[in-house]
Structure 1
Amino acid sequence: MTISRRDVLMGGAGLAGAAAMTGLSGTPSFAQALPKFEPEKGASLRVLRWSPFVKAEEDAWIANTKKFTEATGIEVRIDKESWEDIRPKAAVAANVGSGPDIVWVWFDDAQQYPDKLLDVTELAKGLGATYGGWYPAPEAYALNRGKYVALPLATIGNAVIYRDSWVKEAGFSEFPKDTKAFLELAKALKAKNHPMGFTLGHGVGDGNNFCHWVLWSHGGEMVDDKGKVKINSPETIAALKFVRELYPNFIPGTESWLDVNNNRAFLAGEISVTANGVSLYYAAKNDPKLADMAADMRSVNLPIGPIGKSVELHQTTSACIFKYTKYPQAAQAYLSFMFDAPQMNAWIEGSSAYCCQTLKAFAKNPVWTSNPINAPYGKASETLRPNGYAGPLGPQSAAAMADWIVVDMVAEAATGQRTPEEAARRAEQRASRIYRG
């Protein structure tokens, strides 16, 4: 879609006028507190983003974009692709040097082609200074050798969603807080014909989030803090033995699930427990036929494993500007506007707690206290552990995630395709090719 030019504020006052129109009391205007950008004459922008799971989130982003166009006269075309297609589309654009000006990428994708991305350090530092600083983990995804090659846009929180009445029917007064009791709940729910279902396929969000939690909760790591591969460890084997025992209590077929499949299974009443964004709850809440289900839904952070602390991967998305853009000033002006408090607060609220802030000041957004089910998602940026843990982020960590090494290892062990030991050895071989390269 294209946001057309209309009600244009002409001249250099355009962006300042937008800030004045939308400024919140007590909030610095971005035109004053952040770097000023002078959009190129005749500029237009193309943005590639992922398809929404919460329609109101997309609507809020489009409404904010419309305000930007009205203030500047800069037309903005917004395209969208499925979650799985964003990564290859962005990589192709980086390699061929043409395509969208701005793209929303996943996790550390920006680390695969940092030399193809515009340095936005000045803007990133200005935003951090204005809005309480960046949360360290999403910020790490955007930093390459001390420079910002992206702006951390949002952390899409991942939490357990479950049917409270079914958990109680299985004999549990509350949802288990540790993996041992979690396994017992899985068995009890399966016995009551209410199986769990967690994504073991190449789901960019749900598959990665669940499988990294399995690994980390037991102390496993892809690499150590020096970047040396250590995925084939006793801790990893313990994690894979755990998931092998857990898997028979799932609904069949989860090894082929993508991000949408667990949503469909839960809303169809086929599973009792899954891990998902808060969008799953709002899909039920907004469907009159699922009112009883929505009232029965609860959310909680994933159980704590033998490591003794909460360790979770949440899906993170960042906004990148490609160096090949003809309009780098306009692109930075657009992102500056979209991160400014009136627009960012409207977007976070519009997302119904689906998109967690990456700048600390926005933790005060009322969406996080408007509904108890939102609470586990409100700290996603704070609790996030980057996927490259415990090593540095960079092309190698990005390549390891893009190659689905952790997801494939967990799925192979869970389904019995390989023994835990065999799955860990195969993952070690695959990771070593990347980290030694």
Structure 2
Amino acid sequence: MGGMAGILATGRTPAYAQQKTVHWLKWVDFVPATDQMFRRELVPQAEKELGMKINLETVNGNDLQPRITAGIQSGSGADIIMSFNSYTHLYANSVVDMGPLAEEVGKREGGIYKYAQAICSNGKGVYMGMPWAVIGGMIAYRKSWLDEVGATKFPDTWESYRDVAKKLKAKGRPFGQTLGHTFGDAPGFTYPYMWSWGGKEVEADGKTVVINSKETVESVKFMTGLWKDGMDEGGLAWDDTNNNRAFLSQTIAATLNGASIYIESLRKPDQYKTEKGEPLNKDILHAPLPKGPAGQFGFHLLQSNMVMKYSKNQDAAKQFLTWLHQEANYRKFFESQKGFATPCTAKWEEDKLWDVDPVMTPYKVAAKLGQAPGFAGPPDAKAQEGLSKYIITDMYAKAVQGMPAEESVKWAESELKKIYVA
């Protein structure tokens, strides 16, 4: 018997209907070549070798957390979802343990960096997300423009940073920075900035809120002056793409960013040129954020992949992630990034890719040197809640819009106590 009658008689569905489908939800990569590589090469290869269908969906990074929440609430959605920072802790009860894969990859690749371990695991061998990559945040800056105001290297203190920014703003070339509700560049700037002055959200006990300190207040006061003197004041409304466009259109002289600005200028050398008609990529360098009275810090976006508990394809999802983390397959991702993403294991630190372009070299240790939100406490669910609510970023945004420094810090203290004390 053929057709539907045959299917009903045998009690078996056609082979194609039995094929597993894994739905992977990730961000729209800031390196377009990577998403193209996934769709044209790596996903078709995985489908062929694993005998499953891979549904790759990409969304703006700011849309990932709402999709996670919606999936958990409805009990349906993507099988694998890319996580930013400590979403892993926030949704720990709704994801599958990836510890066995993390242990396997760590042993094979020289160990997983402590930064990734702290964010992705509970410290007891359970991994809420499989570490994927760190998007290092460095200052991209126009070398020739800084040279014109006497800065032969990027300023390494906040005082000299403000001085150089002020001179460049007077020439119509301010520094640019977002203080908006956006996942990467805003907290990537404000958290290390606060730490560098000695400010912190909580003590090491993860309970005692201590943000209302002299150090934090001083950092806010300095930020208000810095914003007026040297920054593009439209940055209050920027997301993680606006500063890229501002830099590439030559309206700002420097901005905290992943390496996507530089990589884009390499990708389109004929489109992006200096005011003198030379390739813009020849005039871009990278530097870490300046140091403050308490030291120099970085907060880099850590990405992992979470397998959701509601998924009916958990085994297939784990199989796909295991395949992705095979060195030959992961390398295709790594090389397509050209240094924009730093792997989470020590092995890749010595990869030859970092020797190809010295402009990218500062990014190779991002995963090694990052400090997690919630410092000095753990990067747990409460730390992620504070990050998701943009409390630290808003503390500075309120001040540059006119709220007295002491009041903006008290506001942040009140908001953090709702999380840590209530």
Structure-1 separation of matches of 2:306 and 2:291: 34
User: Could you tell me which of 244, 257, 260 is aligned with 1:276?
Assistant: 257
CA deviation after TM superposition for structure 1 residue 57, in Å: 1.8
SS at match of 2:116: helix
Matched pairs, number: 396
Task: In structure 2, list runs of 5 or more residues that go unmatched.
Answer: 1-17, 274-278
Kept after mapping to 2: 8 A contact 1:337/1:343: yes
Structure 1 equivalent of residue 6 of structure 2: none
SS at match of 2:272: helix
Structure 2 equivalent of residue 25 of structure 1: none
CA deviation after TM superposition for structure 1 residue 429, in Å: 0.2
TM-score, with structure 1 as normaliser:
0.88
Kept after mapping to 2: 8 A contact 1:42/1:74: yes
- State the 4+ residue runs in structure 1 displaced beyond 4 angstroms: none
Structure 1 equivalent of residue 116 of structure 2: 138
> Does 1:316 find its partner at 2:316?
no
Structure-1 separation of matches of 2:393 and 2:154: 25
SS at match of 1:223: coil
> Does 1:244 find its partner at 2:230?
no
Structure 2 equivalent of residue 160 of structure 1: 139
Kept after mapping to 1: 8 A contact 2:193/2:297: no
Kept after mapping to 2: 8 A contact 1:349/1:365: no
- Superposed CA offset, 1:108-151 (max 9, x none): 01211211100111111111111111001122111126211111
CA deviation after TM superposition for structure 1 residue 408, in Å: 0.4
Structure-2 separation of matches of 1:377 and 1:285: 17
- Superposed CA offset, 1:313-370 (max 9, x none): 0111110000121122211111111111111122111011111110111222222221
- Superposed CA offset, 1:274-332 (max 9, x none): 11110111112222121422211111111111113x21101111100001211222111
Structure 2 equivalent of residue 299 of structure 1: 286
Structure 2 equivalent of residue 364 of structure 1: 350
253-262 vs 361-370, greater mean Cα deviation: 361-370
SS at match of 1:148: coil
Structure 2 equivalent of residue 229 of structure 1: 209
Structure-2 separation of matches of 1:61 and 1:108: 25
CA deviation after TM superposition for structure 1 residue 60, in Å: 3.3
Structure-2 separation of matches of 1:215 and 1:363: 28
Structure 2 equivalent of residue 54 of structure 1: 31
Structure-1 separation of matches of 2:157 and 2:306: 38
Structure-2 separation of matches of 1:98 and 1:113: 15
Structure 1 equivalent of residue 170 of structure 2: 191
**Counterpart code for 1:158:** G
CA deviation after TM superposition for structure 1 residue 80, in Å: 1.1
User: Could you tell me which of 140, 147, 150 is aligned with 2:129?
Assistant: 150
Structure-2 separation of matches of 1:61 and 1:388: 34
Structure-1 separation of matches of 2:325 and 2:37: 13
Structure-1 separation of matches of 2:119 and 2:90: 11
77-86 vs 244-253, greater mean Cα deviation: 244-253
- Superposed CA offset, 1:48-76 (max 9, x none): 00011101122333422222111121110
Structure-1 separation of matches of 2:369 and 2:302: 12
CA deviation after TM superposition for structure 1 residue 232, in Å: 0.9
**Counterpart code for 1:388:** G
Structure-2 separation of matches of 1:337 and 1:156: 22
Kept after mapping to 2: 8 A contact 1:170/1:192: no
**Counterpart code for 2:271:** K
Kept after mapping to 2: 8 A contact 1:345/1:362: no
Structure-1 separation of matches of 2:70 and 2:135: 25
User: Could you tell me which of 187, 199, 205 is aligned with 1:208?
Assistant: 187
> Does 1:423 find its partner at 2:408?
yes
SS at match of 2:57: strand
SS at match of 1:253: helix
CA deviation after TM superposition for structure 1 residue 44, in Å: 1.3
Structure 1 equivalent of residue 235 of structure 2: 254
CA deviation after TM superposition for structure 1 residue 414, in Å: 2.5
Structure 2 counterparts to residues 5-404 of structure 1, below 5 A: 42-62=19-39, 63-144=41-122, 146=124, 147-227=126-206, 228-248=208-228, 249-287=230-268, 288-291=270-273, 292-308=279-295, 310-404=296-390
Structure-1 separation of matches of 2:399 and 2:225: 10
Structure-2 separation of matches of 1:47 and 1:173: 45
What's the RMSD between the two structures over aligned residues?
A: 1.4
Kept after mapping to 2: 8 A contact 1:116/1:323: yes
Structure 2 equivalent of residue 20 of structure 1: none
**Counterpart code for 1:428:** E
